[in-house]
Amino acid sequence: MLIRVLGSAAGGGFPQWNCGCANCRGVREGKIPAVARTQESVAVSDDGEQWFLLNASPEIRAHIESFPPLHPREPRHSGIQAILLGNGDLDHCLGLLSLRESHPLVVYATDAVRRGFTEGNALYRTLERFPGQVTWRVLAPGRVEPLRGTSDRDGGLEVQAMPVPGKPPVHLDGRVPRQAEDNVAFRIRGRRSGRVLVYASAVGAVTDAVRRALAGADCVFFDGTFWTADELPALGLGDKRAEDMAHVPVGGPGGSLSALADLTAGRKIFIHLNNSNPMLRDDSPARAAVEAAGWEVAYDGMEVSL
């Protein structure tokens, strides 16, 4: 299984357009040891030819151009076989609307995520220009689903959507009842290799359900949004704490680094990094702590071969 990180930052990216925090200023001015990152999305393939995108970032066009296997090989063609949505957050879904050049798309999502994106959304009509422009495939929690793209060829991968603590997207929160399937991790298994990738870029707490979702994985991508729960208020960037946004922080006694200390996966990678996160700096104590615990920090262009 091949994994390519197209974008590794949380919503807003790094640097974020309206942010003058020390990290954002530092990376803009080239004064800190850190690299810029686009908003999160990852491409996965069993054969290097048929690619499946995990989330559709607002930066999807640049993501496609950044990675030749996703480029068209015929006058009208895409290396993207299908797109999987882990939740309805705009940093995970907005890219769909950018793929509006009359190309058939296959999208895997839970029913709650599909309805949240399509219902009452006039912009979605741009993806309803012809019958079959978007084929939705329902991810039922826990059910193993083979991945097939527009060509209907076997993608060589299967996915299991595992509900993990999360919430509906900001624009729907309070308007729709919260449901377990608002936010899922993906367990993706290569049928030839038997290797398992668990992709959990939005996780509100480390629960038993999260541990079950991660169990036995060869490679784990995990929510790296914040280092501390009060990161935004402490830096004067907002009043929301990590838990208000359904992201478990990485550091501290209740953080994912200590809660997942016994995770045995061969590769353990934090992704969906908010621009405020000290882990973004190569020289920070937070980065040192993460690496000492055997974790890596995702960057755009990172590749993993399982």
Helix crossing, 111-118 with 90-98: angle to 10°? 60
Site membership for ligand MLT, residue 205 (CB under 6 A): no
Using the contact rule CB under 6 A, the part of the chain among 87-95, 139-147, 156-164, 187-195 near ligand MLT is 87-95
Q: Quote the least distance from Cβ 91 to Mn ion, whole Å.
A: 4
Using an 8 Å Cβ cutoff, are 132 and 152 in contact? no
Site membership for Mn ion, residue 91 (CB under 5 A): yes
Rounded to whole angstroms, what are the CA distances from 82 to 11, 23, 188, 200, 291?
22, 34, 14, 18, 33
Site membership for ligand MLT, residue 15 (CB under 6 A): no
* Mask for 42-81, x = binds ligand MLT (CB under 6 A): ----------------------------------------
* Total of residues contacting Mn ion (CB under 5 A): 4
Give dist(CA 256, CA 220) in Å, integer.
Answer: 13
**Helix or strand or coil: residue 90?**
helix
User: Residues 6 or more apart from 272 whose CB is under 8 A from it?
Assistant: 8, 9, 10, 40, 201, 202, 223, 224, 225, 247
Could you say which of 206, 214, 245, 297 contacts ligand MLT (CB under 6 A)? 245
Site membership for Zn ion, residue 24 (CB under 5 A): yes
Using an 8 Å Cβ cutoff, are 43 and 79 in contact? no
**Helix or strand or coil: residue 154?**
strand
Could you say which of 1, 4, 5, 11 contacts ligand MLT (CB under 6 A)? 11
Q: Quote the least distance from Cβ 56 to ligand MLT, whole Å.
A: 13
Using an 8 Å Cβ cutoff, are 218 and 207 in contact? no
**Residue 19 binds what, of ligand MLT, Zn ion, Mn ion, none (CB under 5 to 8 Å, by partner type)?**
Zn ion
User: Residues 6 or more apart from 72 whose CB is under 8 A from it?
Assistant: 78, 79
Site membership for ligand MLT, residue 21 (CB under 6 A): no
Phi-psi region of 30 (alpha: psi -120 to 50; beta: other; left: phi over 0): left
Site membership for ligand MLT, residue 172 (CB under 6 A): no
**Residue 21 binds what, of Zn ion, Mn ion, ligand MLT, none (CB under 5 to 8 Å, by partner type)?**
Zn ion
Q: Would you tell me how many other CB atoms lie within 10 Å of the CB of residue 195?
A: 17
Site membership for Zn ion, residue 139 (CB under 5 A): no
Q: β-strand 144-148 against 134-138: which pairing, if any?
A: unpaired
Site membership for Zn ion, residue 10 (CB under 5 A): no
Using an 8 Å Cβ cutoff, are 86 and 184 in contact? yes
CA gyration radius, the chain: 18
Q: Quote the least distance from Cβ 244 to Mn ion, whole Å.
A: 13
Q: Which is nearer to ligand MLT, 34 or 248 (CB)?
A: 248
Site membership for Mn ion, residue 11 (CB under 5 A): yes
Could you say which of 2, 21, 90, 293 contacts ligand MLT (CB under 6 A)? 90
Give residues in contact with ligand MLT (CB under 6 A).
10-11, 89-91, 169-170, 202, 245
Give residues in contact with Mn ion (CB under 5 A).
10-11, 89, 91
Give residues in contact with Zn ion (CB under 5 A).
19, 21, 24, 275
